[in-house]
Structure 1
Amino acid sequence: MSGTSLDGLDLAYCHIWKTKNGWDFEIKQSKSIAYDKTMESQLKNAIYLPATELLAFHNTYGTWLGKQAKAFIDQHHLEIDFIASHGHTAHHQPQKGFTFQIGSGQHLAHECGKKVICDFRSKDVALGGQGAPLVPIGDQLFFGQYDYCLNLGGISNISFQKNGQRLAYDIGLANMILNHITQKINLSYDKNGAMASKGQINNLMLQELNNLEFYRLPFPKSIGFEWFVEKVLPIVDNSQDSIENLLHTSIHHITEQINVQLKLHNIKTKSRLFVTGGGALNTFLMDTLQDKLGATVKVITPSNTLIEFKEALVFALMGVLRDVEETNCLSSVTGAKKDCSGGVIYLPS
């Protein structure tokens, strides 16, 4: 799994099995590989590449993924059924009928010598869906005991059960904006939100972020890096303020929008909000979120392993569901014409 926050590649060795009541899992091994500056820059700027260069990078990145997977498998002497790979989203424009995750499945399969299942989003988009978010199938099958599941990766998205069906959508910003701000001073991220906690709200910036049109759109809806570049970067980069104040303001924006969305769905007393993704490790962000939500909602964070590797786990589940030809993309979430079992299978030579 490689997410929009660009913090690195997540690998998880998962045991997934069917039970009487559904599915269960265990994350047996895990590893994060931080991107070096070159790879981070290549992935960040892939959106600007002409088609021929993008396809070439798609192949070389797939080969690189295969090398990392093989090293992980060899290091832990793993026996695996297949690799489920999300790749890295370079383009996501479902309104135009396409989404593209780089990391060629065929090159990955050749390099590590294992069966690969990838390209989980395209089938849903071809059926008229957003192709995102896809994690809600895991929320439904693995974490259905919680009232709401919130993922704070580069983007924030939420998932919940309503009227007998799973609903989910992208809320808006999360680590993408925070990491962009810290990179102005050559820091990858603000550990525990320490700098953000020292800042003050920039009211003009907060108002401009809260007024973004995306927040007023009905769901299903999703965003990608293109939206961030076009709509958010000008607001952040034109706000002449300290790094602490920019971070502090961004966290208040992120948590305000989460609060707004939860209130739309008539939160019942003592609801439980299950939070994963890198943002769940940001202490100031979590404290601010709990303050915004008040006593009505209890914010719950699991173990660090599950916080960091939940998305990788869910794409492993999606691979399992694709392998046994069961639904892994929910039309109630994406707005597609029907549920489907997304993913393309590649075999090594």
Structure 2
Amino acid sequence: MKTHKIIGLMSGTSLDGLDLAYCKIWQEDKGYNFEIAETHSVSYSDEMKQRLKNSIYLAADELLIFHNTYGTWLGEQVLDFINSYDLEVDCVASHGHTTHHQPQNGLTFQIGSGQHLANACHHKVVCDFRTNDVALHGQGAPLVPIGDRLFFGQYDFCLNLGGISNISFEKNGERLAYDIGLANMVLNYITRKHGLEFDKGGQLARGGKINPTMLEQLNDLGFYKLPYPKSIGYEWFVDQVVPIVEATDDSMPNLLRTAIDHICEQIALQVKANSPADHRSLLVTGGGALNDFLIETLQSKLGPTAQVTVPETILVEFKEALVFALMGALRLEQKTNVLCSVTGARSDSSSGVIYLPT
């Protein structure tokens, strides 16, 4: 495997913005290695944030128009990134932005047209990594575990705290992974209701008190009782979680404190259920890893079961973009980049659609 120079793009359900990571990826001694050489984040404007948030309600033709214009916008951000750092790029690997995720209905859709992206940035693009797995009767998610296995196999568990929390680990020679449940999506929803983008470091939550009724309702959500493989999307959050938050008449610190307790309790339950012994290692990345109070609460609930490790900030913030760069490299090499042991699909696959600029 040659050294691939790829820009990985990630836009998550927390609606923070677009992450771009220029990565060099190569294989050595049957293992894989990487360098994150340059990074950049583009915050979404209020208008873009609302358009992405409300895209699940668009009519089909309006959604497809947005799919194309958002793809062009992605390509423009990539081109600016390339020009700003004078980057030599082989390919762009884009996750897109998930608007619809209903694997039970054979449907998943990430907007950000690969052809429009390629035309705007003048480089080859690999995107649409989920559709093939869903067509193979998988969940189409999570996708990051291929990176957990190839880049971070020294950790017993890899936990990502984006809009949604998901975990991956090895068991009986297979990589297993699934969405646990809530993370930043609910925390940001609460703060944005009060005109605050997010609770920096969990400072507001630290001063709050647990609302027992809300906590019980969150812990009783049916998704937590389902066996894995399983995954959720924004539709689930709107349908199942938002009504609980809206029906709870309490202060913002108390709502945040309750949500964090819930998030950490569900994560700890899953780690303990899949840990044959104490003193395991748990790597935590994603925006939630920067929430000090959340991390402290998680470690407290885990006790001696697992030691939480938060790596350097660049990896915390850009791990998902890095993994999509890896998935792009593997797709170009026609190697497996989606694991059926994770998604429940009929087989592993080398997924992603390749677009050439015109």
Query: Which aligned pairs between 1:178-257 and structure 2 lie closer than 5 A?
Result: 178-257=187-266
Q: Which amino acid aligns with 2:341?
A: S
Listed as ranges, the gaps of 5+ residues in structure 1 are none
Contact 2:279 2:307 in 1 (8 A): yes
Match of 2:84 in 1: 75
Q: Secondary structure at the match of 1:141?
A: helix
| Residue in structure 2 matching 1:160, options 169, 175, 180 | 169
Are 1:322 and 2:331 an aligned pair?
yes
Q: Secondary structure at the match of 1:275?
A: strand
Q: 1:51: Cα distance to partner?
A: 0.1
Are 1:295 and 2:298 an aligned pair?
no
Are 1:87 and 2:89 an aligned pair?
no
Structure 2 Cα separation of the partners of residues 37 and 310 of structure 1: 25
Structure 1 Cα separation of the partners of residues 170 and 249 of structure 2: 42
Structure 2 Cα separation of the partners of residues 232 and 170 of structure 1: 15
Q: Secondary structure at the match of 2:242?
A: helix
1:163-219 per-residue CA deviation (whole Å, 9 max, x = no partner) reads: 000000000000000000000111111000000000000000000000000000000
Aligned residues: 349
Contact 2:272 2:305 in 1 (8 A): no
Which is worse superposed, 56-65 or 15-24? 15-24
Q: Which amino acid aligns with 1:293?
A: L
Structure 1 Cα separation of the partners of residues 41 and 300 of structure 2: 31
Q: CA RMSD in A?
A: 0.5
Match of 2:29 in 1: 20
Match of 2:5 in 1: none
Match of 1:105 in 2: 114
Q: Secondary structure at the match of 1:28?
A: strand
| Residue in structure 2 matching 1:39, options 41, 48, 54 | 48
Structure 1 Cα separation of the partners of residues 211 and 194 of structure 2: 19
Q: Which amino acid aligns with 1:194?
A: Q
Moved beyond 4 Å, runs of 4+: none
Structure 2 Cα separation of the partners of residues 57 and 40 of structure 1: 13
Are 1:30 and 2:39 an aligned pair?
yes
Q: 1:264: Cα distance to partner?
A: 1.4
Structure 2 Cα separation of the partners of residues 240 and 26 of structure 1: 47
Q: 1:21: Cα distance to partner?
A: 3.0
Listed as ranges, the gaps of 5+ residues in structure 2 are 1-9
TM-score using structure 2 length? 0.97
Q: Secondary structure at the match of 2:168?
A: strand
Q: Secondary structure at the match of 1:169?
A: strand
Match of 2:153 in 1: 144
Q: 1:332: Cα distance to partner?
A: 0.1
Q: 1:266: Cα distance to partner?
A: 3.2
1:97-149 per-residue CA deviation (whole Å, 9 max, x = no partner) reads: 01000000000000110000000000000000000000000000000000000
| Residue in structure 1 matching 2:127, options 118, 123, 129 | 118
Q: 1:230: Cα distance to partner?
A: 0.2
Are 1:61 and 2:55 an aligned pair?
no
Match of 1:341 in 2: 350
User: Percent of aligned positions with the same letter in both sequences?
Assistant: 65
Structure 2 Cα separation of the partners of residues 127 and 19 of structure 1: 31
Q: 1:295: Cα distance to partner?
A: 2.0
Q: 1:27: Cα distance to partner?
A: 0.3
